[in-house]
Amino acid sequence: MMPPSDGLQRSDKAHRPRPSASAEELLVKRLPQSPEAEQAVLCSLMLLPEVCDDVALQVRPDDFLDDANRRIYTHLLNMHEQGNAIDTMLLIQRLRDSGEYEAVGGAPYLAQIASAVATAAHAEYYAKIVREKSTLRALIGASTDILQEAYDPTVEPREALSRAEERVFGILENKGEGQLTNIREVLHDSLARIDARMQDDHAFGGLETGLHDYDDMTGGLHGSELVILAARPSMGKTALALNIIEHVAINLQQPTLFVSLEMSSTELGDRMLCSRAEVNSHRLRNGQLSKEEKRKLIETAAVMSTAPLFIDDTPSRTMTEIAASARRLKRRDGLALVAIDYLQLIDPDNPRDPRQEQVAKIARRLKGLARELEVPVLCLAQLNRQTEASRDNRPQLSNLRESGAIEQDADVVMFIHREEYYRSTEEERAQVRGEADLLVRKQRNGPVGDVKLTWLHEFTRFTNRAPEQYDEFASYAGSTPDAGGF
């Protein structure tokens, strides 16, 4: 609870001031500001218009607290962008034409600005002061909203906490200082990465997935990239995602966050144990495990228990909550990969928006999360029914369900296709049993193509397909004829 402000004395409950009102009065009186710095910025622009570009990278019009200063700064920026000369007389004429001359204080105030500084040499420094004061005011505004919401008995605490974190991080994103990087620095980093890869024949540009052909094609999962893995139900997209997560968290020992909106952590634990130990998951569910299978599960559990894998199985999550979990984990343990199952189950921030717009906003925020955390975000997605209506049942980018924005914002889009699923008779299924294709249909920074995999249904697992196996699937001896996936 905030202490009482100066001049306010504690009284009985009947006369105690409302927290929100006293907070607002206090904050209005003490807003951080520097009228001198704001005037110094404007004076610098009139003295030396060439610094407009440098100043524009530091501050925006809404960073000025004084309304007159904000209007004058906007006009000066517009004059510069339009290629017009900047001086006091031209500014006065522009203000008169727009009807704002008297609103900004007329000749007396413009004369005051014109004499604010003697030189424009420190324009960027003045702009930095203006931006810092604006950042503090934004923080105070966010804190006021957080305080008022915390006092609202109708607000769910979990939602209030998520929105509070979103507000604070939003200030960081909007008020962060832009940075231009010289190509010399970029190339230096590029050559360093190339040299590191050449030191190891098996090194990839990104995070290895354990799928050798996919890693060769894409260089693995790259930081700041949004990777979409899409398929129709029962194709095995969750199984493939778990295989990748398992490789990153267990084999590579890299911190991984898996947000499961569809399956509970208990179900995922069973699935991963059976997959890695290669124990029939159906036998586990029926309690028909042999002593050898139980031993394998115990040994596998001992290995998996040391992995830096974190699972969030809350059934309803917004992008705000997912981002909050990822940020906390990165600050606490580091983070190499975020995986989400699946996109269409993420709750929209505004349920009243049209569904297509909701999905588009979610896709854009997923990409923003990848860039902010500088880690790959692997997000599963559903395909629409048009895939099954096509001639060969092989999915295309146009089959992404509910929004083309998914394709637009993603750096990599890939689909799972198992021909066995679409064969109508047991004889036809036997001819292609175990065959699976990972169809890379978009890669922003590389080629597209098909990756051959092997689907082990009884273990709900995808494995690399050896070249010599490509033409031998007719004799594949799968233990179950069921073509369904997970």
Residue 397 · residue 441 · CB < 8 Å: yes
Q: State the catalytic residue, choosing from 36, 159, 262, 428.
A: 262
Active site residue 402: no
The Cα 72–Cα 319 span in angstroms is 38
How many angstroms separate the CA atoms of 151 and 134, rounded?
Answer: 26
Cα gap 227→83, rounded to integer Å:
42
Alpha-carbon distance 271 to 258, whole Å? Answer: 14
**476 preceded by cis ω (within 30°)?**
no
| Alpha-carbon gap, residue 341 to 401, rounded angstroms | 15
Q: What does the DSSP assignment read for 9-43?
A: ----GGGPPPHHHHHHHHHHHT----HHHHHHHHH
By DSSP bridging, strand 461-464 and strand 449-456 are antiparallel
- Classify residue 348 by its DSSP letter: P
Give the bridge partners for 154, in sequence order. Answer: none
Q: Report which secondary-structure segment, H or E, holds 445.
A: none
DSSP string over 154-222: TS-HHHHHHHHHHHHHHHHHHHSPP----HHHHHHHHHHHHHHHHT-TT--SSB--S-HHHHHHH-SBP
Q: Which residues are known to be catalytic?
A: 262
